[in-house]
């Protein structure tokens, strides 16, 4: 269980993309260490030094979490895109009346930290998914804004080979 600091401040939220990136780096580093730990015996056979038993459980858990995260939408975007997407999700919506005639309004949706985290982790593509993530969405965003939000999310989402295949089948 994570330790709560005495100040009462809670640790920042971490997205699946960040966890995936961290685990990928750790697993690559461990693979390099394992390769270096192999010793050649006098008879020419290779002998691998064993990792301490208590670390085997940690290694197994990290590998399982990594494999699971590879099956989630966390693989459909990059860390470089996150700050821009988060800013757009959290920015308050702008009314047309508040916009100066020569200025272009910055698109915003006014989502909370938790809602933004869920959007990033799940990368919804259907309105029903948004309704499950965003509390009281019908009173906060119009149907047009909800569709724009889905379009915005789609811009940050890389198409997977399966989605590309579905797209080409529909076009034919």
CA 170 to the chain's CA centroid: 28
pLDDT tens column, 75-94: 888 888 888 898 999 988 76
- Banded pLDDT at 9 (limits 50, 70, 90): low
pLDDT tens column, 106-119: 578 999 999 999 99
Query: Where is 47: in which H helix or E strand?
Result: strand 46-48
Residue 164 clears pLDDT 50, i.e. is over it? no
- Per-residue confidence (pLDDT) for residue 1, from 0 to 100: 43
28 vs 24: CA distance, rounded Å: 6
- Banded pLDDT at 45 (limits 50, 70, 90): low
From residue 108, give the alpha-carbon distance in Å to each of 34, 54, 60: 47, 47, 41
Residue 58: partners with Cβ closer than 8 Å, 6 or more residues away: none
């Amino acid at each position: 269980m994570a330790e709560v600091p005495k100040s009462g401040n809670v640790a920042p939220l971490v997205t699946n993309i960040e966890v995936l990136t961290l685990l990928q780096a750790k697993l690559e580093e461990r693979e390099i260490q394992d390769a270096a730990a192999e010793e050649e015996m006098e008879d020419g056979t290779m002998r691998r030094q064993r990792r301490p038993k208590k670390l085997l459980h940690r290694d197994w858990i990290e590998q399982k979490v990594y494999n699971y995260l590879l099956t989630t939408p966390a693989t459909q975007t990059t860390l470089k895109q996150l700050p821009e997407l988060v800013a757009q999700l959290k920015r308050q919506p702008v009314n047309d009346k508040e916009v100066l005639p020569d200025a272009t309004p910055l698109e915003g949706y006014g989502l909370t930290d938790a809602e933004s985290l869920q959007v990033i982790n799940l990368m919804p593509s259907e309105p029903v998914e948004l309704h499950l993530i965003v509390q009281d969405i019908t009173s906060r965003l119009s149907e047009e804004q909800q569709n724009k939000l889905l379009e915005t999310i789609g811009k940050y989402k890389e198409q997977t080979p399966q989605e590309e295949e579905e797209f080409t089948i529909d076009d034919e």
